[in-house]
């Protein structure tokens, strides 16, 4: 029996341990950076109206908080997106993409999912809020032929607040993080 699988397993475990230590240290560094930049150590996670009592899942050392609920509206509702856009952008957060996000479909054998994703970055560039919405559709079949779809009622909504983990965290606070160079027009 070869020792290669064992060496690979040991390497993966070592990398996972290094990654975990790096994330904890990065979190502590970001907390200090946020305080120096005049921002709160960690912003509050905004709850959709009527969901304030839903408990949050948390990982404090990584600055990660999440909660989820079912929006009792029909697909393709964007009311949760509009709520978060108004709340977050009113506090200086900015949408991470250009233009308004749209619903898109992920197909499967037995179930299709209509998905919606939007992300906002905090004013100091240290935190991100992700809004994920899912509307599930069961596929009806007769033999090999698809005969229709049955949409599950409501939309599952997942809201996550976490520290930014990417190139944006290295940019100085307050500078634009656009991937495009600024062009001066005369």
In this structure, of 98-112, 127-141, 171-185, the range with the lowest mean pLDDT score is 171-185
Is 24 inside any structural domain? no
In a domain, 105, yes or no: yes
In a domain, 30, yes or no: no
pLDDT of residue 167 exceeding 60, the answer is: no
Higher per-residue pLDDT: 33 or 118:
118
Q: Would 84 be classed as within a structural domain?
A: yes
Residue 15 has pLDDT above 50, yes or no: yes
More confident residue, 102 or 178: 102
Residue 186 within a domain: no
Task: Note whether residue 115 is domain-resident.
Answer: yes
User: Comparing C-alpha atoms, which of 118, 123, 157, 117 is closest to residue 43?
Assistant: 123
| Domain, as residue range, for 120 | 44-166
Mean of the per-residue pLDDT values of the chain: 82
Structural domains of the chain, count: 1
Q: Is 177 part of any domain?
A: no
Query: What distance in Å separates the CA atoms of residue 29 and residue 63, rounded to the nearest whole number?
Result: 12
Which of the residue ranges 98-102, 106-110, 177-181 has the most confident prediction, judged by mean pLDDT? 98-102
Q: Which of 40-44, 144-148, 156-160 has the lowest mean pLDDT?
A: 40-44
* C-alpha to C-alpha distance for 176 and 8, rounded to whole angstroms: 41
Cis peptide bond N-terminal to 186, omega within 30: no
Residue at 29 is within a domain: no
Tell whether the model's pLDDT for residue 169 goes beyond 60.
Answer: no
């Amino acid at each position: 029996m070869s020792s290669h699988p064992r060496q690979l397993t040991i390497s993966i475990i070592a990398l996972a341990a290094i990654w975990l230590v790096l994330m904890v240290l990065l979190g502590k560094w970001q907390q200090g950076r946020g305080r120096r930049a005049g921002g709160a150590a960690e912003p509050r996670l905004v709850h959709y109206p009527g969901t304030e009592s839903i408990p949050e899942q948390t990982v404090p050392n990584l600055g990660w908080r999440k909660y989820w609920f079912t929006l009792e509206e029909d697909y393709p509702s964007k009311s949760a997106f509009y709520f978060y856009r108004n709340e977050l952008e009113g506090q200086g957060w900015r949408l991470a993409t250009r233009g308004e996000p749209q619903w898109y479909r992920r197909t499967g054998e037995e179930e299709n999912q209509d998905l919606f994703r939007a992300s906002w970055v905090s004013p100091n560039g240290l935190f991100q809020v992700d809004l994920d919405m899912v509307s599930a559709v069961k596929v009806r079949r007769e033999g090999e032929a698809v005969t229709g779809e049955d949409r599950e009622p409501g939309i599952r909504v997942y809201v996550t607040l976490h520290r930014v983990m990417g190139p944006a965290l290295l940019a100085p606070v307050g500078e634009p993080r656009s991937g495009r160079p600024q062009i001066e027009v005369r």
